[in-house]
Structure 1
Amino acid sequence: MKVLLATSKPFALQAVQGIQNVVETAGLEFEKIENYTEKSQLLDAVKDADALIVRSDKIDGEVMDAAKQLKLIIRAGAGYDNVDLDAATSRNICVMNTPGQNANAVAELVFGMMIYMQRNKFDGSVGRELINRRLGLYAFGNVAKKVARIARGFNMAVYAYSPALTHDDLRKEGEYGVITAYSNRELFENSDIVSLHMPLLEDTRNCIDYKLLAYMPKDGLLINTARKEHIVEDDLIRIMEERPAFQYVTDIKPDKHEIFLEKFPNRYFATPKKSGAQTTEANRNAGIAAAHQAVMFLKSGDDKYRVN
């Protein structure tokens, strides 16, 4: 049986070597296609694959139809909206992710961006310190929990709201020192800085709108390391026009990136490409976790991290 690693945006070399070692030590065949530029290259590579490991690569029904032997798709990372789950389910293909493996890398990025923006992008002007500031976490999964732990070192008050967790669940997270927000409005009302960590679902698409943003302070900071589709971009532009001190930082370039850049050059920053998991450690952790999951599934049917 063959495990194919297909990444248009390659893993770090250490991660690729680790994936190959796990797969081949288990007696399975390993193959990789990296830096591909055409979908036809992917379609050709998947023809005899039993398991497919990807990063942000788009895996749709056409790719699955080209892979007649495919039984498993693993998204090495937490988010998996790049994989068509309905198409996979209809073809009896299991889809997994690797939750938590990139969490520390993303959490550290959140604080890097937070400091960068609160110090006015290090332009020499007077900025703000994080101590005693109020941080709001929208959703409370693996990344948000690590953000909360780091925030304790900065002596920040941390509020958390999660559509997926009950209030009792959040109250039980005492080790993280978070204060439960009982609605997204309460979260935004009580936060100087809000960091988004929810998955892209129908309920979270366009959930950050003008009404919600207006509850934040006039000098608020919004951080987005989740998905650009969470934000109504016109509403965020309106808030930033009305509030000369409001800031936005993201590692997912908005559709209206050029407008943000033109209107708010000193209060807006977007990474050139999604950077949350772009560390050697995160690459290795997610990739090797995916390799172990592929081996366990192909050898024993273990589908612990199935998402479809």
Structure 2
Amino acid sequence: MKILVADRISPLGVEYLKKQDGFDVIEAYGSSPEEVIEHAKDVSAIIVRSDTRVTREVMEAAPLLKAVGRAGVGVDNIDIDAATERGVIVMNTPGGNTIATAELTFTHMLCGTRPVVRGATGMREGKWERKQLKGAELRNKTLAVLGLGRIGAEVAKRAQAFEMTVIAYDPYLTEERAKELEIEKVDLDGAFSQADYITVHMPMTPETKGMVDEAAFAKMKDGVRVFNCARGGIIKESALVDALKSGKVAAAGLDVYEQEPLPEDHEFRSLENLNLTPHLGASTEEAQESVGVEIAEAIAEVLEGGRIRNAINMPSIDPKDLQTLSPYLELC
């Protein structure tokens, strides 16, 4: 069986696949959409990160395709509907980049609180702006976490260590889980209105697209600080620009954008109270090794008739139950 690795993953993941009997691994990094279609014609599985798009056209060209693996969390570069229609399992690695993304989020929070970036840039330029660069403290501030999954919970834990009060909006958060984490569960308007800091940790869906818009900013405190290392487009970019210019938002930090790479002439690049990073959330050695090996193991297991894990469009099933359930199982 052939496995197409279309984006560069940890060498340990690729080596794991090559060591398994019966697999022919095709490494085709940086392929054009047309080349991906050509490579996919006789493959049983495709592994991607965020660069390669696995479209309906790719799947239609791949009659043997059984699974698509995403080394990472977001699957907006994979046509889930087309995969489901064709019985193709889509899997991701939700735990592998949790700490990396949480730590980057907190880095943005700190840099948006103390003007570290401007200070470092000024020092390289020969400046000494000690009196001009006044910041704030995280202690005794309120953080609203939008989306209290793995990453959101890790950010909340770090905020509590800095003596912040943490509130959270998450439609799936139970009162029991909130109590366990010592976090107050609030509705979305409550999160907007009570927070000194807001961090976003939600997937991009029709419901979350543009969720933080002009109306949302109007509900926030003056001088709020906003950070997004989740998915571009959840914060409406034009609304954020206006809020930063007016001072409604004192500072913000982004790692994700509606269009990536961020256009060279984007207005974001001219705002001094906005810190930007080029989608680095999972860019640590530890995270990349973890997600690369994890997705390689998951793909191998599926192709060998084993357990299905972290599937986006079907339940995760133990192999001992698969033979019994398979005649009745439909991709959801």
Would the TM-score normalized by the shorter structure come out above 0.5? yes
Task: Tell me what 2:321 maps to.
Answer: none
Task: Tell me what 1:89 maps to.
Answer: 84
Go from structure 1 to structure 2 and tell me whether the alpha carbon gap of 1:211 and 1:171 turns closer, same or farther (over 3 Å shift). farther
Q: CA deviation at 1:301?
A: 4.7
Q: Partner amino acid for 2:293?
A: I
Q: Give unmatched runs, 5+ long, in structure 1.
A: none
CA distances 1:182-203 after superposition (whole Å, capped 9, x unpaired):
x111011121110001111111
Task: Tell me what 2:46 maps to.
Answer: 52
Q: 1:142 aligns with which of 143, 150, 160?
A: 150
Task: Tell me what 2:3 maps to.
Answer: 3
Q: 2:15 aligns with which of 21, 45, 53?
A: 21
Q: Does 1:241 align with 2:239?
A: no
SS in structure 2 of the partner of residue 144 of structure 1? helix
Task: Tell me what 1:99 maps to.
Answer: 94
CA distances 1:210-250 after superposition (whole Å, capped 9, x unpaired):
22122222111110111221122222222223226622210
1:255-266 equivalences in 2 (<5 Å)? 258-262=266-270, 265-266=271-272
Task: Tell me what 1:31 maps to.
Answer: 25
Q: Partner amino acid for 2:100?
A: A
CA distance in 1, matches of 2:26, 2:288: 15
Q: 2:160 aligns with which of 152, 163, 175?
A: 152
CA distance in 2, matches of 1:185, 1:209: 12
Q: CA deviation at 1:148?
A: 1.2
Q: 1:189 aligns with which of 186, 193, 197?
A: 193
Q: Does 1:207 align with 2:211?
A: yes
**Residue range with higher mean Cα deviation, 102-111 or 246-255:** 246-255
CA distances 1:62-116 after superposition (whole Å, capped 9, x unpaired):
1112222110001111111110011111222111111111111000000111111
Q: CA deviation at 1:304?
A: 2.8
TM-score (norm: length of structure 1)? 0.89
Q: Partner amino acid for 1:280?
A: E
**Residue range with higher mean Cα deviation, 100-109 or 204-213:** 204-213
Q: 1:130 aligns with which of 138, 143, 147?
A: 138
Q: CA deviation at 1:254?
A: 4.7
CA distance in 2, matches of 1:198, 1:244: 23
Residue identity over aligned pairs, in percent, reads 30
**Residue range with higher mean Cα deviation, 61-70 or 49-58:** 61-70
Task: Tell me what 2:276 maps to.
Answer: 270
CA distance in 2, matches of 1:20, 1:55: 13
Q: Partner amino acid for 1:49?
A: V
Q: Does structure 2 retain, via aligned residues, the 8 Å contact 1:135–1:191?
A: yes
Go from structure 1 to structure 2 and tell me whether the alpha carbon gap of 1:126 and 1:34 turns closer, same or farther (over 3 Å shift). farther
SS in structure 1 of the partner of residue 304 of structure 2? helix
Q: Partner amino acid for 1:146?
A: E
SS in structure 2 of the partner of residue 229 of structure 1? coil
Q: Partner amino acid for 1:270?
A: L
Go from structure 1 to structure 2 and tell me whether the alpha carbon gap of 1:211 and 1:274 turns closer, same or farther (over 3 Å shift). same
SS in structure 2 of the partner of residue 147 of structure 1? helix
Q: CA deviation at 1:24?
A: 3.4
Q: Does structure 2 retain, via aligned residues, the 8 Å contact 1:148–1:177?
A: no
CA distance in 1, matches of 2:165, 2:248: 25
Q: 2:228 aligns with which of 224, 249, 255?
A: 224
Q: Partner amino acid for 1:278?
A: S
**Residue range with higher mean Cα deviation, 29-38 or 104-113:** 29-38
Task: Tell me what 2:126 maps to.
Answer: none
Task: Tell me what 2:123 maps to.
Answer: none
1:281-296 equivalences in 2 (<5 Å)? 281-296=286-301
Q: Give unmatched runs, 5+ long, in structure 2.
A: 120-128, 314-332
CA distance in 2, matches of 1:217, 1:138: 16
CA distance in 1, matches of 2:258, 2:141: 27
Q: Does structure 1 retain, via aligned residues, the 8 Å contact 2:18–2:24?
A: yes
Q: Partner amino acid for 1:99?
A: P
CA distance in 2, matches of 1:172, 1:209: 28
Q: State the superposition RMSD in angstroms.
A: 1.9
CA distance in 2, matches of 1:221, 1:238: 14
CA distance in 1, matches of 2:176, 2:311: 28
CA distance in 1, matches of 2:248, 2:88: 50
Q: Partner amino acid for 1:238?
A: D
Q: Does structure 1 retain, via aligned residues, the 8 Å contact 2:67–2:90?
A: yes
Q: CA deviation at 1:131?
A: 1.6
